[in-house]
Structure 1
Amino acid sequence: MKELCVSTTNSKLKFEILNNKKIALIQVNINDLSNLTDAQKEHLVITELQVTGDNFHHKGLSFVNTSPGANLTYLTHEVDQLTNGKLLKITSQDPKKRLVVTNYYQLFDQTAVIRSWVTVENISNENIGLEYISSFAITGLNQGSDPLANYATDNLLYTPHNNWQAEAQWHKQTLKEAGLDYQTDRIDDQQNSSKRINITNNSSWSCAEFSPSGILTNTVTNQTAIWQIENNGAWHYELTDSSNGELLSLRLSGPEELDNHWWKNLAPGESFTTATAAFCEVSGNYERALQEITKYRRLIRNKNQDNQKLPVIFNDYMNGLMGDPTEATERPLIDAAAKTGCDYFVIDCGWYSDGYWWDSVGDWLPSKKRFPNGIESTIQYIRDKGLTPGLWLEIEVIGIHSPLANQLPDSWFFKRHGKRIIDCDRYHLDFNNPDVRSFADKIMKRLIEEYGVGYIKMDYNITTGIGTEQNSDSFGDGLLNHNRAYLKWLDHIFEEYPELVIENCGSGGMRHDYAMLQRHSIQSMTDQTDYVRNGNIAAVGSSVVTPEQCAIWSYPLQNGDSEEVIFNMINAMLVRIHQSGLLNHIDDKRLNLVVEGIRVYKTYREKIPTLLPIWPDGLGHLDDEWYSFGLANNSELYLAVWHGVGSEVTHELSLEQYGTIKEVTQIYPAPISDLNAHFKSYENTIKFTFNQSKMARLYHISLGN
């Protein structure tokens, strides 16, 4: 046997080249499987690859023991030194010498998270059908030093559920509770189970039902694994058993045939590269793992001023103009946004249509009825007030009642079974078509160079279904081609306009994957219109998106009170402020609370990209009565505490795990005029007394050793 080891300051991978030249992944960071038997190590494959027509040695539907994936043999490897880590490349081939497979593992100096992807090349003289390729495969997950540990009962699986206006709702359960109830006392005739815990996303909302991530904590070994898949469309991951039920396996991938309608015909000389995935195992709980992947997310995204400086965005939509902008209604809002200290002003949907705007979108020309002096006049007014102007755009769709709908050829659109796909009164453009990309270029050029906008809110309110048949080997292949073409188009736009900020929005947070967020500096996290529930989402948004990319609405109501304004502001003050609401219609006392909140935010906002998220109350859910979220380093902690709806007026939080409390200061609202909220600190615990529902406060806590 031959060992292959690569490591950085924070991460480590170790492989064994077995006597039969199969490659076994025997260590990821703290999880060392070196003591497994030779027979068990046969199952520690690094790639699952299923080819049409090859024998599939599995039981049920899982992607374990694929063919030729289970039989790939080692050829070569190399390690490249990068500026911030290392890149390991392992090359293998299938027994029939038709395919060459290269596994890429990127290790970073600053984090324990490891990035992984796989390239498959057809070196034969025949077409080969690809049904499944893992982006990352590991067996022996969270195994620890106890070979008899019961993975079914000892592991807690955290799954991030999404719904429109209910994003990042983490549910936890043991693997046994999730259905993987197979491990026994190792009876001699035990085989692999037929059960898999599979989390799958179809269509083009990458986060339609789940975020493309997961967490697994072993409560006995105190190990936690965390992962994410980086694709802006369909993806799949599954947990199942291997080695006759002895070991736990995780498989991460982009789209595949069984679950996502993806099949790829690989012609001689062609190659295919999977979606990237990220994975790590650390000592500690879910919070420790989320902090580690926060570091990773910061490392892989494009560097820009927007998510370093964290300008405050005003957007006219939420609990404001709600898609009915006009020159007359915008100007007083622009004045109010400037007065409160905002940095951007965004005109949201409706600016291009005289009336109902939903099903007529497509040409993106401003309505003369709404803006009789031309939208350029309003945009210039925004600039004159010292704000950067922005416009809402949904560039991937054409409304069925748009004049363009009947002028453009079918080849521009998603089609299945010979028909254009219609979703919610819109057709979906296919960015794999170069004419579509050219069309989109012209729209962006007009908005940026003629109208003078510096910010685009790029929304995405419909989905494609399983894909398109045009220029593809399968429906899923057509969707993947579009997804990748759209990403390349985004890269082109950012290269052309490096100062432009493009907000990623998909009916809120329905596309917050890190294929998109490597490129976008800011993510609209939710369209939640209830400010109390918005707080619940704000408190967990940084579990799926870095805090400095996580935009949360703050929208004071016309007929609210001071506590409602404070609650609204605190929802956004540890992430990105998406200010909205009809600020020109609220009284001076409540408007001054908005001004104060933004002013306080500006005193620490540039620290946010350096701090790590914490959840002293755990990962909360919609309608929790008490919940909290914070950002911390070794010396200080910013903490938001919310009391939603309920009768419990007191709440205690232990902060012992973060350090010794030296001083607690309420920083918003100013405590000098606040008689309704009280706190008392003792022995690294803070007792909060909020004597009514729907209250929130923001604190700064100094920490010592």
Structure 2
Amino acid sequence: MPETLHWRAERVQVALALPEDGPVSVLAIRPSGSPAPAPVLPEGHGEQPLVELSAFGHGRFPGSFRHVDTVIGRALRYVGHEESEQDGWRELRVRQEDASRGLRVTSVLAAHASAPALRAWTEVAVDGDLVVDFVSSFATGSFLADARTASVDDIVVAHADSDWIAESRWRVQPLREAGLVDVGRAAHNHQPPRTRLALGNRGSWSSGEKAPTGVIASARDDYALAWQIEHNGPWVAELGENGHGAYLLLSGPTDQEHQWSVRLRDGETFTSAPVSIAVAEGGVEAALQALTDQRRAIRRPRDADDALPLVFNDYMNTLMGDPTTEKLLPLIDAAAEAGADTFCIDAGWYADGHWWDGVGAWEPSTARFPGGIGEATAYIRSRGMTPGLWLEPEVIGVRSPLAQTLPDAAFFSRGGVRIAEHGRHLLDLRHPAARAHLDAVVDRLVGEYGVAFIKMDENTMTGPGTDRDGLAPGHGLLEHARAVLDWIDGVQARHPDLLIENCASGAMRMDYAMLSRLHLQSTSDQQDPVAYASIAAAAPASILPEQAGNWAYPQAGMTDEERTFALANGVLGRMYLSGYLNRMAPHERAAVRDAVSAHKAVLGDIRSRRPIWPLGLPAWEDDWVSLGLALDGHAYVSVWRRRGDASARLSLPWARGRALEVAPFFPSSEGGWSWSWDAETGVLEMTAPTAEPSARVLEVWIA
């Protein structure tokens, strides 16, 4: 019988098949404490290799658009493994070889004591000369409670579409409906089909079209697996069908989708993009909660992150990129009175007029700030807040003098021609001149103006990448993306008190390569608070609630319900406050202060709470949406009624059969809303008082 390797960490266990005549494969992934996994196949062989790898001259059999069935992947053979433990992480390194091609492949599985999850990547080395054009970070055909009897027909998949101002549009659907068509295998000698569900992104916007996270679950809700790809660039998640069920494959950039390849010679090693896989007994929500634990495990928190400051930003539905000292001073006063901890001056502070294609020097405008921008930042500090600035570091406008003074090699180029996109050139942070320029900018802003918060934006798409130094464009982009991370690490090492927000036209680069390092994530540029509700409710499926920067932009003259709705968007997560607070009447300002107070109460233990979705993951057009943050029989629950029926039924299965206390949290009175609890079914029925969009935040706990 082929050998089986059982590897256990504190909260997760894995079984790997180690056959003599086949590649290593995953037999089972389970939370620790679950029943011991049974062999998936009678002969002990897994159906889906752990590693898939293709290279020029070494493709797939049979050929298809899929990234499985690779000739090299099937040729790999187990040669050994090592285990280690350090700083709460257990690591398993599984070594395979393809001796005929001089390939050595190591799969790394790492598990933290705090999460029922794995972090995985692949290391590839070669003796000789080989151009690798695809390598998986992780692949498995085992993710259900009993893979021997599981059918593709019994699997659901949850994934999210993304776009500017339309982020986090989740859908949960049977895998068959999502794209794995039943082709009638019996009529074709039971050959596996070649269709796939391919999710992914191109260029530097890792969440520009799809969120780099998803869930596979049993339709019975008894077992689920969630994944995320931790790369600030292009990636692929592929779901398909093989001879024994479905498979999941995760990778960074590929040649087929992203013009990526890398030549390896004589012992050179390539390391793939890391991914995380979290498992849970339960359905989609349980798997996303397990992935929440994993996100906390892989973060690199600093002491400065513990403060969780409430940030006021002057942009959204307010100054919109047109700040001046005169406009800022009354906003600074109003933000301080509302309870903000940080005041961020957003775009426009560096230009006298039109600025889009002239950026790059990041010097304050003397026209906007006659007394210098230091006057504004000093005033922010005098009101008890820390100053912040918007910055888009990775671009140089085509009209900027720096476009001429920085060397050509400091920019993305294709065929020797510098790339220009949307009026900008793209800095290549592999080049020392590009990095030195950005280091000098950040050091000056922190040193001269006392900036303690940077809203780091990235509004310009890179395209496939840069082919400087003869690289495939996709590999040039991969190296740049990793250089961006290295630059961020250097900035934060020099400035340990500097907080950096991750932004890219809203949430177009929302991944845990960035968010393992950065403090906050802008979840959207959406300006309509009613549309924002689904974005705010869905955000914790992709990011930690303590990093979910949801805009709350109330305005003078709003009705009570409009104002409450706008503010409720920010209460659960990280409120990103904006709006002309200085123009508000006393009762309107009081409502803002109440929302800020409620939000700060949530921040008290937000890093211990896990998300719940009492109405399911929100779809973009849902009439009602809901998000909760739960901990030990207690939850804060936001409920938004956007349109449609006056009532909705919230499912709280963790409180079924128990007495449940329900109290208004924000606002502090019911305001015409009503609710009733059915302990037998675990349903809280909510009724809104008006056809106008309306929202409430509740506090619920088991009595």
Counterparts of 1:665 and 1:308, CA distance in 2? 29
Letter in 1 for 2:408: D
Query: Over residues 383-428 of structure 1, what are the superposed CA-to-partner deviations in whole Å (9 max), with x where a residue is unaligned?
Result: 0110000000000001112122222222111111322212111111
Offset at residue 282 of structure 1 (A): 2.2
Which range moved further: 682-691 or 490-499?
Answer: 682-691
Q: Deviations over 1:104-156 (max 9, x none)?
A: 0001222111110011112x2x32100111000112343x33634321x2111
Q: Distance in 2 between matches of 1:373 and 1:652?
A: 56
Among 319, 323, 326, the alignment partner of 2:324 is 326
Note if 1:92 corresponds to 2:96: yes
- Match of residue 496 from structure 2: 498
Measured after TM superposition, the shift of residue 246 of structure 1 is 2.4
CA drift at 1:574: 0.7
* Residue 72 (str. 1) matches residue 76 (str. 2): yes
1:305, distance to aligned residue in structure 2 (A): 4.4
| Cα 1:444–1:345 shift into 2, 3 Å | same
After superposition, the C-alpha distances for 1:231-257 in whole angstroms (9 at most, x for unaligned) are 000111111122xx3231111000011
Query: C-alpha separation between the residues in 2 aligned to 1:472 and 1:229?
Result: 27
**Secondary structure at the residue paired with 1:442?**
helix
Correspondence for 2:120: 116
8 Å CA contact 2:23, 2:50 repeated in 1? no
Q: Tell me whether 1:2 sits opposite 2:3 in the alignment.
A: yes
Counterparts of 1:138 and 1:42, CA distance in 2: 9
**2:677 aligned residue:** 681
Structure 1 length as normaliser, TM-score? 0.95
8 Å CA contact 2:406–2:433 kept in 1: the answer is: no
Residue 189 of structure 1 corresponds to which residue in structure 2?
A: 189
Contact 2:129 2:263 in 1 (8 A): yes
Q: CA offset at residue 220 of structure 1?
A: 4.1
Deviation digits for residues 247-278 of structure 1 (CA, Å, limit 9, x no counterpart): 31111000011111101011212110000011
Distance 1:525 1:77 in 2: 41
Residue aligned with 2:403, SS: coil
Aligned mate of 1:389, from 363, 387, 390: 387
The answer as to whether partners of 2:117 and 2:276 remain within 8 angstroms in 1 is yes
* Letter of the 2:474 counterpart: G
State the alpha-carbon separation in 1 of the partners of residues 265 and 374 from structure 2: 51
1:277-296 matches, cutoff 5 A: 277-296=275-294
Please give the residue correspondences for 1:239-388 in structure 2 after superposition, counting only pairs within 5 Å: 239-242=239-242, 245-305=243-303, 307-388=305-386
Contact in 1 for aligned 2:660/2:677 (Cα 8 Å)? no
Q: Which piece of structure 1 moves more, 636-645 or 284-293?
A: 636-645
Partner of 1:149: 150
Query: Counterparts of 1:188 and 1:176 in 2: how far apart (Å)?
Result: 19
- Aligned-residue RMSD, C-alpha: 1.8
Residue 41 of structure 1 aligns to a residue whose secondary structure is: coil
Q: Does the aligned pair in 2 maintain the 1:641–1:698 contact within 8 Å? A: yes
- Shift in CA distance, 147/16, structure 1 to aligned 2, threshold 3 Å: closer
2:647 corresponds to 1:650: yes
Contact 2:634 2:701 in 1 (8 A): yes
Q: Secondary structure at the match of 2:211?
A: coil
Counterparts of 1:265 and 1:654, CA distance in 2: 53
Equivalent pair of 2:288/2:541 in contact (CA under 8 Å): yes
419-428 or 436-445: bigger deviation: 419-428
Residue identity opposite 2:114 in structure 1: Q
Give me the whole-angstrom Cα distance separating, in 2, the residues matched to 1:301 and 1:35: 34
CA distance in 2, matches of 1:413, 1:560: 47
Partner residue in 1 for 2:134 = 132
The aligned amino acid for 1:211 is A
The C-alpha deviation readout for 1:200-255, integer Å capped at 9, x for no partner, is 2111111010011111112147221211111000111111122xx32311110000
**Which residue in 1 is equivalent to 2:200?**
200
The range that moved more, 576-585 or 169-178, is 169-178
Mapped to 2, the partners of 1:649 and 1:216 lie a distance apart of 33
Shift of 1:55: 5.1
Change (3 A) 1:558 1:146: same
Aligned to 2:173: 173
**TM-fit CA distance, 1:529:** 0.1
**Could you list the runs of 5+ residues in structure 1 that have no partner in the other structure?**
none
Partner of 1:379: helix, strand, or coil?
helix
2:537 paired with 1:539 = yes
Find the aligned partners of 2:141 and 2:621 in 1 and give their Cα distance: 38
Tell me the distance in 1 between the aligned counterparts of 2:605 and 2:373: 36
The Cα offsets for residues 418-439 of structure 1, whole Å up to 9 and x where unpaired, read as 2221211111111111111111
Deviates more, 1:388-397 or 1:298-307: 298-307
- Listed as ranges, the matches of 1:479-518 within 5 Å are 479-518=477-516
1:637–1:703 contact (8 Å) kept in structure 2 = no
Deviation at 1:472, TM superposition (A): 4.7
Q: 1:383–1:472: structure 2 CA closer, same or farther, 3 Å change rule? A: farther
Q: How far has the Cα of 1:80 moved from its partner? A: 0.3
| C-alpha distance in 2 between matches for 1:597 and 1:118 | 46
Q: Cα 1:317–1:10, aligned 2, differ >3 Å: closer, same or farther?
A: same
Partner of residue 230, structure 2: 230
Match 1:620 to one of 618, 621, 626: 618
Give structure 2 stretches of 5+ with no counterpart. Answer: none
More divergent stretch after superposition (320-329 vs 64-73): 64-73
User: Aligned runs of 1:518-557 on 2, under 5 Å?
Assistant: 518-557=516-555
Cα distance in 1 for partners of 2:678, 2:37 equals 41
What SS does the aligned partner of 2:21 have?
A: coil
- Which residue identity is paired with 1:669? P
1:35 to partner: Cα distance: 4.2
- 8 Å contact kept, 1:308–1:606: no
Q: Aligned partners of 1:55 and 1:603: how far apart in 2?
A: 56
In the alignment, the residues of structure 1 paired with residue 608 and residue 253 of structure 2 have an alpha-carbon distance, to the nearest angstrom, of 34
1:532 is aligned with what amino acid?
A: V
Q: 2:419 and 2:217 mapped to 1: Cα distance?
A: 42
Maintained 8 Å contact 2:546/2:607: yes
Q: 2:41 aligns with which of 17, 20, 36?
A: 36
Whole-angstrom CA distance in 1 between matches of 2:59 and 2:423: 44
* CA distance 1:339–1:3, change in 2 (3 Å): same
Distance across 2 between alignment mates of 1:228 and 1:334 = 39
> How is 1:337-486 mapped onto 2 (pairs within 5 angstroms)?
337-486=335-484
Deviation of 1:496 after TM superposition, in Å, equals 0.8
Quick one: structure 1 residues 655 and 293, their matched pair in 2 at CA, closer, same or farther if it must change by over 3 Å?
A: same
Q: How much does 1:191 deviate?
A: 1.5
CA displacement at 1:69 relative to structure 2: 1.6
Distance 1:239 1:682 in 2: 39
